Amino acid sequence: MSRKAILILLGVCISFILLVVVSVSALLLYSVASHKETPEEKASEAGMLNRIGAKGRVVYCLKDIPQGAIVDGKALEEREIEQGKIPLDAVTSISLAKGRRAKYGMAQGQIISQHDLAR
């Protein structure tokens, strides 16, 4: 085969590969751009937006409580904070903490968790 024929064949192969890459890219772009949200996706997105601004109740320590002390309800306060800032094991009501023994010392301003309290 002559050198000229090899160069022509190489040019045709490269052109074909470029055509395939451009076609696949265009198809991918079209499929992403024309995606329609299903009702389930819309509901899920709306639910996430509602949860972002949602508030939840937690219990804060108003004064230091030493390790081993019985928790007095007067040393606690319920507050509402953003749902995303609530620790997973946070105590959500003073009645759940009042009268229990402090497993660890708790500092003023701390959110009380279930792990801070003995059973």
Q: How confident is the model at residue 1 (pLDDT cuts 50, 70, 90)?
A: confident
Kindly list the domain boundaries of the chain, sorted by start residue.
3-35, 54-116
Quick: pLDDT tens for 24-43: 999 888 888 777 777 777 76
Q: What is the CATH number of domain 54-116?
A: 3.90.1210.10
Residue 113: CB atoms within 10 A of its CB come to 18
Please list, in sequence order, all residues whose beta carbon lies within 8 angstroms of the beta carbon of residue 103, skipping any fewer than 6 positions away: 67, 115, 116, 117, 118
Give the mean pLDDT of the chain: 88
Q: Which residue has the tokens 């997105």?
A: 45
* pLDDT value of position 2: 85
* pLDDT value of position 106: 95
Q: Contact at 8 Å (CB) between 58 and 90?
A: yes
* pLDDT value of position 116: 94
Quick: pLDDT tens for 84-97: 899 999 999 999 99
Q: Is 8 exposed, middle or buried (0-12, 13-18, 19+ CB in 10 A)?
A: exposed
Residue 68 has pLDDT above 90, yes or no: yes
* pLDDT value of position 10: 87
Q: How confident is the model at residue 105 (pLDDT cuts 50, 70, 90)?
A: very high
* pLDDT value of position 50: 63
